[in-house]
Copies of this chain bind each other. A is one copy, B any other.
Amino acid sequence: MNQSETRWLIPDGYIPPESSGQLESHESVCVLNLNKEEVTVMINVYFEDRDPLFGMEAVVPGQRTKHIRTAGLVSNGERIPSGVPYAMEVTASLPIFVQYSRLDSTQAENALMSVMAYPVHK
């Protein structure tokens, strides 16, 4: 049964290190919170060759969306480095919906990709 879920996976994370033109390269973890209550979102980050960064936090008010920029996330003073392949595990205090999108403007004109994050049913 598909439903809003408290855990979503995004295997392909990457913050493009360069931008050109009008728009800045970035990724967004787009959260939709249809609950009446505020939701706390925790993002764990997995790398290819180092230990994970756990517990990057964001808050989404009730009946609101938040398009979370990954470059702004912080865990113990550490940020996700750009130019490095990584993956994300998104958990939430209440069921939410999650989509992941990336804008890459490395090469003058922009390129876009988007996927619905992969929900895990308990």
Which chain A residues have a beta carbon within 8 Å of chain B's beta carbons? Answer: 1-5, 9-14, 18, 21-23, 28, 30-32, 34, 46-49, 51-52, 63-67, 85-87, 89, 97-99, 101-121
Which residue of the partner chain, among B12, B32, B112, contacts A30 with CB atoms under 8 Å?
A: B12
Contact assessment for B85 and A64 in the assembled complex, using a CB-CB cutoff below 8 Å: no
Contact assessment for A115 and B86 in the assembled complex, using a CB-CB cutoff below 8 Å: no
Contact assessment for B66 and A48 in the assembled complex, using a CB-CB cutoff below 8 Å: yes
Interface of A is mostly: strand
Contact assessment for A110 and B107 in the assembled complex, using a CB-CB cutoff below 8 Å: yes
Which residue of the partner chain, among B10, B13, B34, B118, contacts A2 with CB atoms under 8 Å?
A: B118
Contact assessment for A119 and B2 in the assembled complex, using a CB-CB cutoff below 8 Å: yes
- A28 and chain B: residue at smallest CB distance: B12
Which residue of the partner chain, among B5, B32, B47, contacts A46 with CB atoms under 8 Å?
A: B32
- A108 and chain B: residue at smallest CB distance: B109
A3 vs B7: C-alpha distance in the bound complex, in angstroms? 10
Contact assessment for A65 and B47 in the assembled complex, using a CB-CB cutoff below 8 Å: yes
Counting chain B CB atoms within 10 Å of each CB, the highest count among A4, A32, A98, A102 belongs to A32
Contact assessment for A65 and B51 in the assembled complex, using a CB-CB cutoff below 8 Å: no
